[in-house]
C-alpha cells in the first residue's frame, strides 16, 4: 500500500499547495464513508477534523480497499485482514481495527485445527470422518460405539473411554480420526499419540529437560488416544513412571482415554509384565491394566486388512 506520508508529500510538491490541500480535504470529507462517520458523531468539531485528517484519510483509503477486496492473501491494508473503524476517543478522531470476515474465518479454522492434535500419527488420519468409514458388517458395532462416544463424551465429568482391539490394518486408527473430527465439531480438544514413538521420545526428553512438559501435555489432554499400545518396547520405567502417571492423572480428573491395540486386555497385561531386566512383574502390570479395564469399554474391530492390495 502507498504510504500516507508519500501521498502527503506529493500534495506538497504541487505549486498550488493550499488549493490542492483544500480540494483533497473536500474530497475526503464528502466521501460517503467519511460522511457516515461524521453523521454518527454529531459532536465532531472542525478542530477535531483538522487534527484528524491523516486518520480520516487512512480510514477512507483502507475501507475502500475492503469494498474492492482482492482476497485475504492480497489484502493491501497496513494490517492484513483488518479493517479500520473511525471513532471518537478522548476528544480526538482515532481508528480501531477489527478483523474482517475473511480473517475471522481463517482464525476460526486455525482454532478448529488446534482442537485436533497428533504426535507421530499420519496427517491423513485427521481427515477421517464417520461418513468415510468402512460400513461393512464386521465393523458396524465398532463404528456405532465410536460414534456414540464422540457424541456423548464429557471430559471432566465422565472419564469412560474405549479400547479398540483388532488385527493389523482393520481400521482402528481411522476410526479414532473420525472420533476426533466429531469431537472437534463439539469444540472438544483431542490428542492422538502413536505410542511407540512417544515412549521413545520420553526417554530422550530426560536428557533435554522437556520430560515434564511433554508428560503434562499428554496427561492433561481433554480426550487422549493412545494408538497402537503394546507395539512399544516396554520397560519398568515407561510402564510405571510414564504410562502409569498418565493414567493415574486422567482417572482422577475424569478425562477419557481411548486405546487401539493388536493385543486384547490379557495379552497387553502379559506385554506390560515384562521387565527390561528380564524378569516378570505381574503385579505392576496388573495395576496398570486395572486402570485401563475399569475406564474403557472393550471394542473388537474385525474385518480384513485394509492395507492389503
Query: pLDDT per residue over 125-179, tens digit each?
Result: 888 888 888 777 778 899 999 999 999 999 999 999 999 999 988 889 999 999 9
The answer to whether position 305 is within a domain reads no
Q: Which DSSP state fits 309?
A: -
pLDDT(1) > 50: no
Range of the domain at 189: 115-300
Q: Is residue 109 part of a domain?
A: no
- Asked if 258 contacts 162 with a C-beta cutoff of 8 angstroms, the reply is yes
| 11 closest CA partner among 20, 23, 1, 22 | 20
Kindly give the pairing relationship between strand 161-165 and strand 82-89: unpaired
* Distance (Å, whole) CA 159 – CA 295: 7
Q: Answer yes or no: is pLDDT of 237 > 60.
A: yes
DSSP state at residue 233: P
Claim to verify: residue 130 and residue 209 sit in the same structural domain: yes
Q: Does residue 110 form part of some domain?
A: no
**Residue 78 exposed, middle or buried by CB count within 10 Å (0-12, 13-18, 19+):** middle
Q: What is the pLDDT of residue 289?
A: 96
- CB-based burial label for 146 (10 Å; 0-12, 13-18, 19+): buried
Statement to judge: residues 55 and 174 lie in one domain: no
Q: Domain tally for the chain?
A: 2
Together in a domain, 62 and 164: no
Whether residues 143 and 256 fall in one domain:
yes
Residue finishing a domain among 78, 103, 128 = 103
Same domain, 98 and 130: no
pLDDT tens-digit series, residues 200-225:
988 888 888 889 988 998 999 999 99
Residues 264 and 179 in one domain: yes
Query: Who wins on pLDDT, 2 or 75?
Result: 75
| Positive/negative CA dihedral, 278, 284, 286, 289 | negative
Task: Give the per-residue pLDDT at 263.
Answer: 96
Q: For 276, list phi and psi in degrees, rounded to 5.
A: -65, -15
Question: What are the cell numbers at 169?
Answer: 490394518
Whether 83 maps to a domain, the answer reads: yes
- Give the residue-averaged pLDDT of 227-245: 92
3-state secondary structure of 280: strand
| Domain limit, last residue, from 72, 103, 134 | 103
> Any alpha helices (H) in the chain, and if so which ranges?
4-13, 17-30, 32-40, 46-51, 53-67, 101-114, 137-152, 172-185, 195-208, 211-220, 236-237, 244-253, 265-273, 282-294
Amino acid at each position: 500500500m502507498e504510504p500516507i506520508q508519500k501521498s502527503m508529500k506529493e500534495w506538497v510538491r504541487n505549486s498550488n499547495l493550499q488549493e490542492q490541500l483544500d480540494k483533497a480535504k473536500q474530497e475526503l470529507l464528502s466521501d460517503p464513508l467519511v460522511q457516515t462517520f461524521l453523521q454518527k458523531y454529531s459532536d465532531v468539531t472542525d478542530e477535531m477534523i483538522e487534527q484528524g485528517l491523516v486518520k480520516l484519510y487512512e480510514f477512507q483509503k483502507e475501507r475502500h480497499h475492503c469494498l474492492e477486496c482482492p482476497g485475504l492473501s492480497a489484502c493491501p491494508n497496513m494490517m492484513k485482514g483488518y479493517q479500520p473503524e473511525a471513532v471518537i476517543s478522548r476528544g480526538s478522531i482515532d481508528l480501531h481495527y477489527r478483523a474482517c470476515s475473511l480473517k475471522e474465518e481463517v482464525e476460526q479454522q486455525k482454532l478448529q485445527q488446534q482442537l485436533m492434535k497428533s504426535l507421530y500419527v499420519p496427517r491423513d488420519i485427521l481427515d477421517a470422518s464417520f461418513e468415510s468409514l468402512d460400513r461393512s458388517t464386521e465393523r458396524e458395532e465398532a463404528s456405532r460405539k465410536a460414534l456414540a462416544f464422540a457424541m456423548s463424551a464429557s471430559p471432566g465429568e465422565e472419564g469412560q473411554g474405549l479400547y479398540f482391539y483388532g488385527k493389523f490394518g482393520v481400521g482402528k486408527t481411522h476410526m479414532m480420526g473420525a472420533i476426533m473430527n466429531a469431537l472437534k465439531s463439539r469444540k472438544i480438544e483431542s490428542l492422538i499419540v502413536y505410542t511407540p514413538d512417544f515412549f521413545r521420545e520420553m526417554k530422550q526428553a530426560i536428557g533435554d529437560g522437556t520430560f515434564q512438559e511433554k508428560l503434562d501435555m499428554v496427561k492433561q489432554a481433554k480426550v487422549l488416544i493412545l494408538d497402537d499400545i503394546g507395539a512399544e518396547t516396554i520397560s519398568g520405567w515407561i510402564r510405571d513412571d510414564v504410562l502409569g502417571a498418565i493414567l493415574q492423572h486422567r482417572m482422577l480428573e475424569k478425562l477419557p482415554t481411548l486405546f487401539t491395540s493388536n493385543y486384547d486386555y490379557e495379552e497387553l497385561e502379559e506385554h506390560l509384565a515384562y521387565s527390561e531386566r528380564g524378569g516378570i512383574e505381574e503385579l505392576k502390570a496388573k495395576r496398570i491394566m486395572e486402570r485401563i479395564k475399569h475406564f474403557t469399554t472393550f471394542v473388537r474391530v474385525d474385518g480384513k486388512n485394509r492395507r492389503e492390495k
